């Protein structure tokens, strides 16, 4: 195969001096073996390299003179962002070429397109919907934790690994709060996929992580109904979402449960402040429908009337989007933390329990959008005769009900809204379950009481000490004077 040398950039004609790799070439040891995708902005090739066993693809920008300048801007944006990411939710970057002579980058190839296939077959069952979307929400939340707003979330940009984890692709229009925004120019508008674009993006606002929550709502809508919330959008019709509410999912598919319609329509709220504060919060309510507080949204079964549309249109004339506070994605999601409260009501003093309540009250008052999982863990075999926790719930197992009632009674003096609290009774080793739960649900802070000196502590060791050492988040250990 041909191994072309790359010309030196000509400052008089920089576009013509840049080499664009093509099928059959060998570039820096990478053999371009198959053209996988040919898009207006770029080509995607399957490549191999004698020193790499990983399945790989090479992305190459198309440099035709008739293409807009944003094509190269999108490529450069994606290469900059992916080069800084090294997590499990984005493809691994293997190599990259020089932007001035031969622009390309090689990344890990992720094959699974389960979400795209499900959208084509929608509507899907609720269990399949949640199984697909919870990992996607977690992946998006991880991007936000790294101060990145993707701004082009759609089924085609999401892959699913064999272990169920979601991987996010195509960062060409993304905004990174810690990097210069190459689209921060009145003459450069970022490319948009109109069906998934949030209203504030139409006002060129690129730094709000809740724009990605809106796009997640569009995908949820598709999976639940088989349709898009505003039909197929174009340059003109996309502006309808600035004032027109979407058709309620239950008007299209009567089998959509009320809680899911509430969640979807909350994601699709015109104003970001009325949506979920974070993708992690969305993931949690998808896995815990009991936390969803039903409003009038859940009852809608018909298209919005003319008067309501007129009111929405009048409200849309405000300059809200430009008055909204500009926060980095990380700053926004830390204002809505998920807090795990681990309780051992049978082995803690009244003094410690009150200290724990005081801590929760302070956290709830500090971050008004925080939400809590209140958990107690029973030792193995305490829930006798039931193998699956779902069977315990269905059968109203007396031990399970006893612990649930105890948790609710314990939290009652705090008077927090139901929508901010979920209760969990889990069987297993205490420290193991707390750590595993915090990892799976991307917990931001664990609140746990410290056992006072006792025979139980001497034989079992300190649960709080192990949680502090191994949990992937902040841990607040609450002590009383007796424990110090």
Q: What is the 3-state secondary structure (H, E, C) of 277-297?
A: CCHHHHHHHHHCHHHCCCCHH
The number of helices, as runs of H, and strands, as runs of E, in the chain is: 17, 15
pLDDT in tens, the chain (484 residues): 444 444 434 434 444 567 888 899 999 999 999 999 888 888 999 999 999 999 999 999 887 655 666 777 888 899 989 988 888 899 999 999 988 888 999 999 998 999 999 999 999 999 999 999 999 999 999 999 999 999 999 999 999 988 889 999 999 999 998 888 877 654 456 677 899 999 999 888 899 999 999 999 999 999 999 999 998 888 788 888 888 889 999 999 999 999 999 999 999 999 999 999 999 999 999 999 988 989 999 998 877 666 666 666 566 555 555 566 667 777 777 778 899 999 988 888 889 999 999 999 999 998 888 899 999 987 655 544 444 444 444 444 557 778 888 899 999 999 998 878 888 888 888 889 999 999 888 899 999 987 655 544 444 457 888 899 999 999 999 988 765 5
Let me know how long the chain is: 484
* Angle of CA points 206, 193, 225, to nearest 5°: 115
Q: How far apart are the first and last CA of the chain?
A: 72
Give CATH for domain 14-108: 3.30.200.20
Q: Find residue 158's DSSP bridge partners.
A: 168
Taking alpha carbons only, the member of 347, 411, 403, 430 closest to residue 373 is 411
CATH 3.30.200.20 domain span(s) along the chain: 14-108
Euclidean distance between CA atoms 106 and 112, whole angstroms: 18
What's the pLDDT score for residue 180?
A: 80
| Superfamily in which the 114-332 domain is placed by CATH | Transferase(Phosphotransferase) domain 1 (1.10.510.10)
What's the pLDDT score for residue 7?
A: 40
CATH 1.10.510.10 domain span(s) along the chain: 114-332
User: How do strand 52-61 and strand 105-108 relate by DSSP bridges?
Assistant: antiparallel
With b for 16 or more beta-carbon neighbours within 10 A and e for fewer, the 49-71 pattern comes to beeeeeebbbbbbbbeeeeeebb
Structure tokens at 174: 């993304």
Name the DSSP class of 16. H
With b for 16 or more beta-carbon neighbours within 10 A and e for fewer, the 355-388 pattern comes to bbbebbeebbeebeebbbbbbbbbeeeebeebee
Structure tokens at 235: 């340059």
Task: Provide the whole-model pTM.
Answer: 0.82
CATH 3.40.50.620 domain span(s) along the chain: 337-483
What's the pLDDT score for residue 236?
A: 82
Cβ atoms of residues 209 and 333 within 8 Å: yes
- Which architecture characterizes domain 337-483 according to CATH? 3-Layer(aba) Sandwich (3.40)
């Amino acid at each position: 195969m041909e191994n072309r040398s790359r010309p030196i950039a000509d400052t008089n004609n920089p576009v013509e001096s840049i080499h664009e790799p093509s099928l059959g070439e060998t570039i820096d040891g990478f053999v371009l073996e198959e053209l996988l995708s040919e898009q207006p902005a770029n080509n995607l090739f399957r490549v191999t390299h004698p020193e790499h066993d990983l399945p790989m693809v090479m992305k190459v920008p198309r440099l035709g003179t008739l293409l807009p300048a944003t094509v190269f801007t999108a490529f450069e944006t994606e290469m900059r962002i992916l080069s800084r990411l090294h997590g499990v939710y984005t493809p691994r970057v293997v190599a990259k070429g020089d932007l001035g002579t031969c622009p390309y980058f090689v990344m890990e190839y992720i094959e699974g397109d389960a979400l795209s296939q499900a959208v084509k077959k929608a509507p899907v069952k609720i269990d399949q919907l949640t199984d697909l979307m919870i990992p996607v929400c977690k992946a998006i939340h991880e991007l936000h934790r790294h101060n990145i707003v993707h701004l082009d979330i759609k089924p085609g940009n999401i892959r699913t690994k064999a272990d169920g984890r979601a991987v996010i692709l195509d960062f060409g229009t993304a905004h990174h709060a810690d990097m210069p925004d190459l689209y921060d120019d009145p003459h450069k508008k970022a490319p948009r996929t109109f069906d998934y674009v949030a209203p504030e993006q139409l006002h060129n606002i690129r730094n709000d992580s809740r724009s990605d929550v809106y796009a997640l709502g569009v995908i949820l809508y598709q999976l639940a109904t088989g349709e898009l919330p505003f039909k197929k959008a174009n340059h003109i019709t996309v502006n309808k979402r600035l004032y027109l509410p979407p058709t309620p999912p239950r008007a299209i598919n009567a089998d959509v449960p009320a809680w899911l319609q509430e969640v979807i329509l909350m994601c699709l709220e015109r104003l970001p402040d009325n949506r979920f504060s974070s993708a992690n919060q969305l993931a949690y309510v998808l896995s815990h429908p009991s936390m969803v507080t039903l409003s009038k949204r859940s009852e809608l079964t018909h298209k919005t009337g003319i008067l309501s549309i007129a009111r929405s249109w009048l409200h849309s004339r405000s300059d809200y989007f430009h008055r909204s506070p500009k926060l980095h994605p990380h700053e926004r999601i830390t204002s809505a933390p998920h807090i795990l409260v681990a309780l051992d009501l049978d082995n803690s003093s009244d003094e410690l329990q009150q200290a724990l309540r005081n801590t929760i009250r302070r956290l709830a008052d500090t971050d008004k959008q925080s939400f809590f999982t209140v958990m107690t863990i029973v030792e193995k075999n305490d829930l006798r005769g039931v193998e699956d926790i779902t069977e315990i719930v269905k059968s109203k197992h007396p031990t399970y009900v006893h612990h649930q009632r105890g948790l609710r009674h314990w939290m009652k003096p705090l008077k927090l809204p139901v929508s901010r609290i979920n209760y969990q009774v889990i069987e297993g080793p205490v420290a193991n379950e707390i750590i595993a739960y915090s990892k799976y649900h991307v917990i931001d802070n664990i609140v746990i009481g410290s056992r006072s000196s006792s025979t139980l502590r001497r034989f079992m060791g300190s649960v709080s000490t192990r949680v502090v050492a191994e949990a992937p988040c902040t841990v607040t250990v609450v002590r009383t004077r007796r424990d110090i």
